Structures are given as structure tokens and as C-alpha cells.
Amino acid sequence: MTAVAQADRIIRLLGLGIWRSSVQWWSLRSFVITLVVGQAVTPLLGLLVWSSALPGDSGITSYYVVLLAVQLLTVSYEHHTLANDIYGGEFAAELVKPRPVVIDLLATNLAIRLWHLLFGLPLILIVGLLADVHLTATDLLLAIPAILLAAAIRFAFTYTLALSAIWTQRAHGAVGMGETLIFLLGGTAAPLTFLPEPLQEVGRLLPFWSMLGAPAEIAAGNLSSVSATYGVQVAWLVVLTALATLVWRLGVRRFTAVGG
């Protein structure tokens, strides 16, 4: 099979997987709404706290409203979809199917994000109107590549942590620790612009800000070095994809060696 044919097959499988997962999650729409509410809590708390601390600062309100949208577009649940399959034994069946296991995981991830956006859009619009947020078309267009990169980075990050389920029963804790780091260092607890300059530079070089805060800063018009931000995101995507591939190979080798 040629590379073009292989790529076409993967795209078709991914499309079918997204459609199938979308239908499945629609049947669980009440549960999805609770997930959306849960994901919206921290950006809304950040908006409440920092807009009270700095009243009249339009940059803060714009940032946190966009951060809410970015959170819903990049959220990943591989500690439930992948780790639970490993613990429950379904992972062994997935390994013998004639397609890469990651295709179904990615399809489920994209379907969940789609429903998060659709169910969360009314909330985003209402909060944006109440906060009197004004965004420019240029900033929003510049933020699109950053959001796509952030979504890919966060998937690779969560996927890698979820694979720890092959070695340990505490994969959910590992992913939870990762989510805590994203909250603290990704720009939810506080925008990086509030930190001293040296710490800002360090924070922007870490992967956590690339997963969440970077697209929000760009869309809110708070960031001037957009191209440099893209570069950092691309670098982390390459690193985390390579790490995920390595952990996958080691994990499958161990899983099959012990008769999984």
C-alpha cells in the first residue's frame, strides 16, 4: 500500500470513528453537559477573581472568556477512554484490530471536543456579552493555528500519561497531576503576564502554557510574539509525539510480554 493510499485509509477511518463516537456521545448528552460545566468552572472562577481584583481591565475579561473556549476545545479524557480500556481488558482486543489503536482514541477525543464546543457555546456567548468582551477578527484568525496546536499537544500529553496504566493502577492520578500542572502553569490560575519577566519567559517555554494559555493570549490580543509562540508549540508537539510513540512501543511490548 502506497503512502498516499495509507493516508487516505487513515483519514477515512478517522472520519468514520468521529461520526460513530459523535452518535454515541449524543446518546449521553446529559453526561456531556455535566462535563462541560465541570470544565467551565476554573476559567469562570479565574474570570471572577481577576476581574474583581483588576476592575475595568478588558484584557483580563477577554482572556478568561477565550480561555473558557480553549479549555472546551482542547480537553482530553484519555485517562478514561484509554486507561479504563487497559484496566478493563478491552485494550487487548483493540491491539488485534487491523488499524492503529490511536485512531479510535483520537476520533473519540475529537467527537467529545465537538460536543463540548456545541454545548458550551451558549455559555461562552452569554459570559462574553455580560463581560462586554470585544475581540478582533485578526486576533481570532491568528489564534486558530495556536488552538489546533494546543489541542494536539494536550492530546499527546494526556495520551502519554494515560499509557502509564500498563505499568500502574494509578494512571488516573498521573493524569490528574498533569491537569493540575496545566491549571497552575498553563494560565488558568493566573495569566502569565502577571508574573515577573524572567518567570514569564520560563512559563512560556513550558508545555503547559502552549496547551491552554497561549491561544487565549493570542485571541485576546495580549501577545505580540505570535510567530515565536507557534514555534514553541510546534517544538512541544514534536517532543510529546515522539515521547508518546516511545511510551506506546514500550507499553505494548510489556503488555504482550505478560500475556495481556
What pLDDT, on the 0 to 100 scale, is given for residue 1?
62
What pLDDT, on the 0 to 100 scale, is given for residue 210?
96
CA–CA distance, 221 with 210 (Å, rounded to integer): 16
Contact 3, 144 (CB under 8 A): no
Q: How far, CA to CA in Å, does 183 sit from each of 69, 112, 140, 207, 247?
A: 15, 20, 23, 12, 24
What's the whole-model pTM score? 0.92
CA–CA distance, 260 with 94 (Å, rounded to integer): 11
Nearest to 212 by CA among 241, 239, 183, 176: 183
CA–CA distance, 85 with 94 (Å, rounded to integer): 9
In the chain, the N- to C-terminal Cα span, in Å, equals 30
Residue-by-residue pLDDT tens, the chain, 260 positions:
677 788 888 889 899 999 999 999 999 999 999 999 999 999 999 999 998 888 888 889 999 999 999 999 999 999 888 888 888 888 888 888 878 889 999 999 999 999 999 999 999 999 999 999 999 999 999 999 999 999 999 999 999 999 999 998 899 999 999 999 999 999 999 898 888 888 888 999 999 999 999 999 999 988 888 999 999 999 999 999 999 999 999 998 887 644 44
Q: What dihedral angle (degrees, nearest 10) is formed by the CA atoms of 6, 74, 179, 31? A: -100
Length of the chain in terms of residues written: 260
CA–CA distance, 50 with 197 (Å, rounded to integer): 19
CA–CA distance, 46 with 121 (Å, rounded to integer): 18
